[in-house]
Amino acid sequence: MRVLVTGASGMLGGGVARALAARGDDVTVLQRRPSGLAETAGVREVLGDVVDAEAVARAMAGQDAVVHLAAKVNVMGRWEDYVRVNVVGTRTMLDAARRHAVPRFVHTSSPSVAHAGASLVGEGAGPTDPEQARGNYARSKALSERIALAADARNVRDGIGPAVTVIRPHLVWGPGDTQLVARVIRRAQAGRLPVIGSGAALVDTTYVDNAVDAFVAALDRCEAVRGESFVVTNGEPRPVSEIFAAWARAGGADPSPTRIPTRLAYAAGGVVDAVTAVRERIGTVDEADPPLTRFLVEQLTTAHWFDQRRTREALGWTPRVTLDEGFERLAAAR
């Protein structure tokens, strides 16, 4: 199968591209900077942006399937930048897949598209809610998921265009992770590992190899499960303080946390959000992720764990690496 993977310079996208190439698929990757996969995995590399219709067309021609992982994922940033990559980029990819008669399209979303601030306890893939989703990233991903599912409905109606399946991986981590693990380790090394409130909120995470397997399974079953969204996790909810401590230990850092009262953290996050809103209006947003925002406080103090029964049944997938095995692999890779 000829497969186009976007966002392959990231940990998850690179893992998906390598897994597909290893099983014999003809893989093309599209991203703005070299991924190194052409040399290490033997894939074809196209440099370009997902909003560049010409670059997308070059990468899309002749493909049998697409796994679209490219996204702007920072906590901070201008709304226009999230829209450009996550919304316009998704539409550009879907339109090109339809024009080039690509049969399968796996779109990457996030459980945050259905999170309005309250705990998610044993939930499935709830409906997207761009109005209530917290933060620019979640709102833009909610919009992009709606676009993807609307495209699938249009393709069914017209009898042309790819079958679209949506995967919402939750907190993917593993060796080489710069989004979650590296930040936790850096803060632990500096003696500033934050635990807000009790740290007892149960949170699902996903070891990267399991997430990769889920994307490959979704690609293989895309036409059978088209038009659906699936949350993917390890299915092992743990207290957030326990997860942070395990990551810190794996990185050789002291896991002793700095405990911050929830009210104080929420107030501090509100100040950061207010300053960011002003800076966004005048075009001077600092995209370096701050220590706290209200979104981060909500994420660290509310439960987020999910019912995986439909995901596992529909995709024929189960996690093969437990969290404890993942922590061991993380430490071994240090």
Residues tagged active-site: 137
User: For residues 66 and 235, what is the distance between their CA atoms, to the nearest angstrom?
Assistant: 26
Angle (deg, nearest 10), helices 135-158 and 89-99: 20
State the DSSP string of 176-201.
Answer: T-TTTHHHHHHHHHTT--EEETTS--
User: For residues 160 and 31, what is the distance between their CA atoms, to the nearest angstrom?
Assistant: 27
**Identity of the residue numbered 86:** N
In terms of Cα–Cα distance, which of 24, 89, 23 is closest to 59?
Answer: 89
Residues, the chain, total? 334
The answer to whether the beta carbons of residues 141 and 89 sit under 8 Å apart is: no
User: For residues 195 and 176, what is the distance between their CA atoms, to the nearest angstrom?
Assistant: 23
Residue 213: DSSP 8-state: H
Dig out the tokens for 246 from the structure: 């395990």
- What residues contact residue 131 under an 8 Å CB cut-off, 6+ apart? none
Quick one: residue 171, left, alpha or beta (phi over 0 = left, psi -120 to 50 = alpha)?
Answer: left
Dig out the tokens for 15 from the structure: 């893992």
Residue where the block lists tokens 């300053």: 275
